[in-house]
Amino acid sequence: MVEDDEFTRTTIKTALINKGMNIVFDTASVKDAMEFARNNRPEVAVLDYNLGKGPNGIDLANQLRRIQPDIAIVLLTAFLDPSQLDKRIAELPEGSRYLIKHSVTKIDVLIEEINQALLHSAS
């Protein structure tokens, strides 16, 4: 899980763990995320769109897919329509899901998206 805001990262992580998910790695750093993915091949990556200065979630998603083509990706964004924010949302790797952060209030919605992403990456 990659999210630059520590409060948000910890909150979502705790909610997912409470629902029985195994969060193998969480970080604010793109570099650390890439290194972890290279060495551990996680099943799913939950990425924030806005990672502060530097690359955004789409950049990271594309690079993750490059090194691990079967990784499932869920992108979190604060926008209702992320394409308003970045036209490149269309460049998200195939099968990726994006989710408005506010819907994460119901953590089951995020879990459903993770399952959908896994399903798409498997097919």
Partner 1 sequence: MSQSISATGRFKKYRIDFSLIPIGIVILELAAFLTQFGNKQYSHISGLLEARGLHALVLIIVSSLTIYLCKKYKVQEFSYFQLSLMGLVFIGLADLIYMFIASPFGVSEVTLYRRVAVGFIQAGFWFPLLIVIGSRRTDIIKYFKEYEKNLIISARTRNRTSPEFKQTQSSIESEISLELDGVCKKLYNSIAAVDLESGELSHANDEIQKALIQHDLRSLSVRLESFSAEQKQSTFLGQNMTSVNLLIKQFGILYTSTLRLSPLRARAYALILLVLLAPSFINSFTLNEALIYAPPLIISISLMSLLIVRVAKKGTRVSARVVSLLIIATGLLPFIANQIGQHFTSDPNTGHPIYETVISLPLSYYVFMKVLQILQVQSVETLKKGDLVASKALESAIYQTVKDEFAHALAHRWAIYIHGKILTRLAASALKLEMAKQVNDISTYKSTVESLKSLLSHPTLEFDTESGDLQSQIASRLDPWLGLLEVDLFIEPSLHTLDNHRVLSVGEVIEEIVSNSMRHGKAHKISLRVMKQGERDIQIIAVDDGGTPPPEQPTRYGLGTTIFNLVSDGRWSITRVDSHTEFNLTMSIE
Which residues sit at the interface with partner 1, rule CB under 8 A? 3-5, 7-8, 11-12, 14-15, 18, 29-35, 48, 50-55, 59-60, 63, 77-80, 84-85, 88, 101-102, 104-107
Which residue's CB is nearer to partner 1, number 28 or number 123?
28
Which residue's CB is nearer to partner 1, number 52 or number 69?
52
Kindly give the residue spans of alpha helices, DSSP state H, lying in the chain: 6-18, 30-40, 57-67, 82-85, 107-122
Per DSSP, 101 falls in state G
Q: Which residues contact 10 (CB under 8 A, 6 or more apart)?
A: none
Closest contact distance (angstroms) between CB of 122 and partner 1 is: 26
Which residue's CB is nearer to partner 1, number 63 or number 115?
63
Which residue's CB is nearer to partner 1, number 41 or number 122?
41
Q: What share of the chain is helix, strand, coil (3-state, %, to 5)?
A: 55, 15, 35
Dihedral pair phi/psi, residue 51, rounded to 5°: -105, 25
Closest contact distance (angstroms) between CB of 13 and partner 1 is: 10
